[in-house]
Amino acid sequence: MSEKLQKVLARAGHGSRREMEAWIAAGRISIDGEIASLGDRIEADVKIRIDGRAVSIKSEEDLICRVIAYHKPEGEICSRKDPEGRPTVFERLPKTRDSRWVAVGRLDINTSGLLLFTSDGELANRLMHPSNEVEREYAVRTFGEVSDACIQRLRTGVTLEDGPASFDKVKAAGGEGMNKWWHVSLAEGRNREVRRLWESQEVQVSRLIRIRYGMIELPKSLPRGGWVELTMEQVNYLRKTAGLKEETRTVLGTDKHSVARSKVKGSKIRRAVRKHKAVASKPARKRT
């Protein structure tokens, strides 16, 4: 049965469906030597090239949906490449075969915390769609006076430049003096929405950390710059949320050596984090 080209490429992890549609429109993708067009449908036996490079279009049954949780540090951007040479969130992710990691949403350069990546671009596309309304929770450190009336306005709603917005929940989480911590949640992913909500009340955000996406929490033991593979149960929670059928396979080991491998992976992550910090601390070379 034929399927839309952008859907097949997204499912295979070559990018989100929106990215694939943009690449098709730009003439970057060909089908059996002919430049593809939006709306093209393909069968399993065609040859697909992106920028002249042959790519895999395995069937849905041949692909294992993988999702990893990444602890994004401040200072990294959510693009694959940056013309200014800033570090990106993709630099420390594990290598994959016949696909690439697709980010589920974005965090701005000054925000840290939980960022999900998947090998299934269709899953990423659906999770990012506003209709899914996946709840995100953030730990926020504010600087300035925060009154009860301010909190009430943030709960009931304020008007931002792109429309009304509000937090579903606002809970005090400690702090001293003018520096206070709060846990806030909302089910939207508009650009800098959490910061803009606080700024609408003339309150400065000095730290912002995403600690939960739906039912997926940022692991407390995961260092900044580290990643961990989600279990099949967690993957299927996300797939159910996105309206996709259940995954029945996982790359995570289930035999008696799994714990040992997990410890080795943990040590590799810590070494990678230390190495990346050392590289990042060196002054950048000037381009001539």
Which residues are part of the catalytic machinery?
A: 108
Of all helices (H) and strands (E), which one includes residue 225? Answer: none
Q: Is 168 exposed, middle or buried (0-12, 13-18, 19+ CB in 10 A)?
A: middle
Instruction: Give the pair of three-digit tokens for residue 8.
Output: 């097949």
Question: Which of 13-36 are b and which e, b meaning 16 or more Cβ less than 10 Å from the residue's Cβ?
Answer: bbbbbebbbebbeeeebbbeeeeb
Q: What is the dihedral of CA 275, 279, 281, 284, to 10 degrees?
A: -170
d(CA 41, CA 287) in angstroms, rounded, equals: 45
Q: What is the DSSP letter of 91?
A: T
* Contact present, 71 and 226 (Cβ < 8 Å): yes
Q: How far is CA 38 from CA 27, 33, 109, 128, 274, in A?
A: 10, 16, 33, 21, 44
* Best CA proximity match to 132, nearest among 21, 223, 282, 244: 244
Give the CA distances from residue 267 to residues 94, 112, 113, 221, 224, in Å, rounded to whole numbers and listed in that order.
14, 22, 20, 12, 14
Which residues are CB-neighbours of 274 under 8 A, at least 6 positions away? Answer: none
With residue 254 as reference, give the H or E element that holds it.
none
Place of tokens 């490429």: 9
